[in-house]
Amino acid sequence: MSRIFGDALHAAFVVPDIDREIARVLALGMGPVFVMRRIRVAARYRGERHDPLITAAFVYSGTMQLEFLQQHDDTPSASIEFLARKPEGGLQHFAYFSDDFDASLQAASAKGQDFDVVQEYIHEDGTPYEIYIEPSNAPGSLLIQLVQHGPLEAMYNRMQEICATWDGTDPVRNAIDLLPKDMQPASEALSC
């Protein structure tokens, strides 16, 4: 996919138990893990508005970011669709930055690969800041996530800096603290 979208940002795993995955990563000596716990995210899934309740966790090893996602409800989403096929969880998507989602999809089509939008995370005005796409000719395959440059990029860069000098203390941290106030989602729990 790098021939179409450039360098990958991360590999993401949808899992049934995120705390187990966080413990496994920490046991490897990777960390700290940055968590957004039990957030309700404004989203569209296959064109219809559905707002899933999720926990997302991020960790770096050098420049490689891993993301782990767990959904806590049965709201229709790409994660629920994935777990219906693979209940034990696993690799769901690779992420790439995009300055313009439509232009990225047109460039992919020009290179012979058409994609369908599966899910979008959206701003209050309904415009997407992340989209999840699948090859038009291969539904059920791994997804591609396109992420807008901007506040999420700054958050990811800060996480990478912190992980590069981690001394083993404070192994689980609140990722929401790294987002600008206007992007901080409502959390349905107080601790990470």
Which domain covers residue 12, as residue numbers?
2-176
Which CATH number fits the domain that encloses residue 22? 3.10.180.10
pLDDT in tens, the chain (192 residues): 678 898 999 999 999 999 999 999 999 999 999 999 999 999 999 999 999 999 999 999 999 999 999 999 999 999 999 999 999 999 999 999 999 999 999 999 999 999 999 999 998 899 999 999 999 988 788 999 999 887 788 889 999 999 999 999 999 999 998 876 666 665 544 333
Cα 95 to Cα 1, 23, 38, 132: the distances in Å are 10, 23, 21, 9
Q: Name the domain count of the chain.
A: 1
CB 14 within 8 A of CB 47: no
Is there a domain that residue 33 lies in?
yes
Tell me, yes or no, whether 110 lies in a domain.
yes
pTM of the model: 0.90
Residue 188 domain-assigned? no
Is position 184 within any domain? no
